[in-house]
Structure 1
Amino acid sequence: MDSGFRHETAIVESDRLGSGVRVYAYAHVMPGASIGDRTTLGDHVFVEGGAVIGANVTIKNGVLVWDGVTIQDDVFVGPGVVFTNDLRPRSPRSAVAANRYAEQQTWLTETTIATGASLGANATILPGAHVGAYAMVGAGSVVVRPVPAFALVVGSPAQVIGHVCRCGERLRGTYCEATCAACGETPEQRTAALVSCGDRPAVRA
């Protein structure tokens, strides 16, 4: 079993790390967090106890992954990406908000980043704004609603401007129609085991 790597300044309090996980300087993984095989956490990454991260994920420096966030396999999370999990945040220590924060289910909104998706540097993902399989979120985008599989989104709020292949190349057409000019993948290959054209679910089933 590959023991991976843990920088001497990293704090790893969870026992739910897979084989070959690499944790770099000043990262902090809280108790209960789940991290899959061969995943890499860059410098200053924080993973809260209720977060779930799959296998072969790359999370670059300065990313905070909170309770309620699920990152599936093969996802890329660029530096400075911001996740959130509360649509109407107040200080839990405030008297007017104490009842709301008494139980997690009354305030937490879950978010899933599906298999193979990429989040560009400094993107912000609002609670419940699921990102579909192999979708690509442009740098600095603010994602306020679910992103379809294979979609390319940019801006604030993020809007669909095209589609990408599984290899990351922008397609000349939709993912259901276009053969990739870079890798040659056909629409049939692209959708065979993942998503049906016309359905376009936000999150892999």
Structure 2
Amino acid sequence: MPDHFVHDHALCESSDIGPRTRIWAFAHVLDGASIGADCNICDHAYVEFGVTLGDRVTVKNRVLLFEGVTVEDDVFLGPGVIFTNDIRPRAEVKKSGDALATTLVRRGATLGAGATVVCGHVVGTYAFVGAGAVVITDLAPHGLYVGNPAVRRGWVCLCGEKLDSDLCCACGKTYAAAGGDLEKAGLQRITTG
């Protein structure tokens, strides 16, 4: 008996699926993909070989994850999120492995519906990407990013709420610069509410 669930209308070719993970109708997980424990892979999601998902990752409907994408624990990928893996694709030129650019989504990040992540970048821990945003640079931890191209419009708490100008959240958590360049280093939590 498998310790994960695959819907009768899903296609799961990978044997590297963590316990309690659910793969729903019409999702396709290729051989060579690695999916952690307690994940939820929704309808019509596509997870290519060479993709790694951590634990407790939510992959909503129609998310496309291609070779070279790594998603850490507790990440939310909204409906229709798209990741790329080739900065200069051509139909005549087939690339794989080291010829592709990698993308890393750090722990706790959220990518809103329809966001696109151009390959070769890091989405920082607990960063929040708004619906429809196009990510073309690295994103700082706890940054709130919107638009095309995605630009930072504030900071967000671990709970997902926008921080005030003093970097405090209504939930009681307080943050400070993580050090160095704030736009790159982002925030770190200094008190717990």
- Could you tell me the TM-score, scaled by structure 2's length? 0.89
| Partner residue in 2 for 1:52 | 52
- Match of 2:38, SS? coil
**Aligned equivalent of 1:139, options 131, 137, 143:** 131
SS state at 1:187 partner: strand
Residue identity in the other structure for 2:106:
A
Contact 1:111/1:130 (8 A) holds in 2: yes
For residue 79 of structure 1, what is the aligned residue in structure 2? Answer: 79
Deviation of 1:197 after TM superposition, in Å, equals 3.5
Q: How does 1:39-188 map to 2 (within 5 A)?
A: 39-91=39-91, 94=92, 97=93, 101=95, 104-106=97-99, 108-173=100-165, 177-181=166-170, 183-187=171-175
Letter in 1 for 2:173: E
User: Aligned residues: percent identity?
Assistant: 47
Determine the C-alpha separation between the residues in 2 that align with 1:154 and 1:46: 24
SS of equivalent to 2:121: coil
Deviation at 1:2, TM superposition (A): 8.3
1:37 is matched with which residue?
37
Matched residues in 2 for 1:59 and 1:73: separation? 12
- In structure 1, what is the equivalent of residue 189 of structure 2? none
- Mind listing any 5+ residue stretches in structure 2 that lack a counterpart? 187-193
Partner secondary structure for residue 105 of structure 1: helix
Aligned pair 1:4/2:11, yes or no? no
Contact 1:2–1:20, Cα closer than 8 Å, also in 2: no
Separation (CA, whole Å) in 1 of partners of 2:73 and 2:121: 18
Q: TM-score, structure 1 length as denominator? A: 0.84
TM-aligned CA deviation for residue 142 of structure 1: 0.6
Partner of 2:98, secondary structure, is: helix
What is the letter of the counterpart of residue 180 of structure 1? C
* Deviations, residues 73-94 of structure 1 (Å, cap 9, x unaligned): 0000000011000000001xx2
Indicate the residue corresponding to 2:190 in structure 1: none
Give, as a single letter, the amino acid of the residue that structure 2 aligns with 1:86.
D
Task: Give per-residue Cα distances to partners, 1:117-148, cap 9 Å, x unaligned.
Answer: 00000000001122100000000001111111
Q: Across the two proteins, how many residue pairs are aligned to each other?
A: 184
Letter in structure 2 aligned against 1:5: F
Matched residue of 1:160: which SS?
strand
Measured on the aligned residues, the alpha-carbon RMSD in Å equals 1.9
Task: Give the partner amino acid of 2:172.
Answer: G
